[in-house]
Amino acid sequence: MIVYYKLDTLLSERKITKTQLCKDTGISTNVVSKISKNEVFKTDTLNRICEYLQVQPGEIMEWIPDEKYNKANEAIASIEQQIAELEAKKKQLQGK
């Protein structure tokens, strides 16, 4: 799975918002949303981001083996479910 976590880090380091990235590159907010979700988008978009940030593609994206990526997402989903259950129990105990 190709992931774009590095892009978020780079934008943060350079104090560039995703809104600013869209404005300066002409990339739509829908495409930036796809990037955030590690979904497929055109290589032209990748080129525009690299051109704007003056970076190589490897500086904003990373390949993670599918098995490792899926395992991590399953663990995250399990934790989120546990959090939701604990929050519901907390509300119940507080009488809300």
Residues of the domain holding 13: 1-64
**Domain harbouring 1, CATH code:** 1.10.260.40
* Whether 51 and 75 share a structural domain: no
* pLDDT, tens digit only, all 96 positions of the chain: 889 989 999 999 999 999 999 999 999 999 999 998 888 899 999 999 999 999 999 999 999 998 888 898 889 899 999 999 999 999 999 986
* Whether 35 and 8 share a structural domain: yes
* Whether 29 and 71 share a structural domain: no
* Whether 10 and 55 share a structural domain: yes
Closest CA to 2 of 63, 79, 67, 69: 63
* Whether 8 and 48 share a structural domain: yes
- How many domains does the chain divide into? 2
